[in-house]
Amino acid sequence: MNIFSRHIATGLLAGLLLWPAPAAGTGHWEESQVKVAFLHHFAQFTDWPPGAIPPGKTTFVLGILGRDPFGADLSLLAGRRIKGRPVEVRRIDKIEEIFDCQLLFIAPCKRHSLEKTLSLLKGRPVLTVGDSEGFAGRGGMIALVPEGGRIRFEINLGAVRKNGLALSAQLLDLATIVVGKKQGETP
């Protein structure tokens, strides 16, 4: 791990330490709390193209499509800011609402297939994150993957670039890069 990777890892860990204490009486973070913290940090280390957040828009919209796996843990985002804007969490009911998001967490959903949702977002500057099996390999941008009692993340750099977003090099150093469906594409 190079010096930049150590700095970003330290920053991510420090960021987690600044979050409210772990679940009462448990002495450890719940998985959903860690995932919420990661969502916040992924957004902090992502650059959106000019105009991606409409002028006059006062909030940064983090959408949840499908069954909400976070529940009350989303309260960890209360008072937080992303890109200088307060975070607004929206539970998406209608597929058209995905276009209003800057970050969209896509949970497994019977009503909306992952492939269809990602197809609708093709070329749009919406950071997609999920934790379903093979999420990044199927075209999602960042997959949260449980491994050995921890959460690691995979990035589909091709999908990120195709949608006009840029992730910090430090974040990329900490991730497993998953190119996506196309064989032979280089990050």
CA nearest to 103, candidates 147, 65, 150: 65
Question: Is 186 a member of any domain?
Answer: no
Question: Is 86 a member of any domain?
Answer: yes
Host domain of residue 51: 3-177
Question: Is 58 a member of any domain?
Answer: yes
Contacts of residue 84, defined as CB under 8 A and 6 or more positions apart, other chains included, come to: none
Question: Is 137 a member of any domain?
Answer: yes
* Rounded alpha-carbon distances, angstroms, from residue 111 to 66, 107, 119, 129: 8, 11, 15, 18
Task: Give the dihedral of Cα atoms 4, 7, 12, 13; nearest 10 deg.
Answer: 140
pLDDT given for residue 52 in this prediction: 83
| Cα atoms in the 13 Å half-sphere on the side-chain side of 120 | 16
Q: What is the DSSP string of 160-177?
A: HHHTT-EE-HHHHHHSEE
CATH assignment at residue 74? 3.40.50
Q: What is the pLDDT along the chain (187 residues), one digit of tens a residue?
A: 444 444 444 455 444 434 444 444 454 578 999 999 999 999 999 999 988 877 777 899 999 999 999 999 998 998 899 988 999 999 998 999 999 999 999 998 877 889 999 999 999 999 999 999 999 999 999 999 999 889 999 999 999 999 999 999 989 999 999 864 344 444 4
Domains in the chain, number: 1
Pairwise CA distance, residues 35 & 68, whole Å: 12
Question: Is 41 a member of any domain?
Answer: yes
Question: Is 36 a member of any domain?
Answer: yes
Question: Is 182 a member of any domain?
Answer: no
Residue with tokens 């992730």: 167
pLDDT given for residue 136 in this prediction: 95
> Is 44 exposed, middle or buried (CB count within 10 Å of its CB: 0-12, 13-18, 19+)?
middle
As a 3-state breakdown, the chain gives helix, strand, coil percent values, each rounded to 5, of 35, 20, 45
121: three-class secondary structure by DSSP: helix
Question: Is 184 a member of any domain?
Answer: no
* Rounded alpha-carbon distances, angstroms, from residue 153 to 26, 38, 102, 115: 24, 9, 19, 20
Pairwise CA distance, residues 139 & 158, whole Å: 9
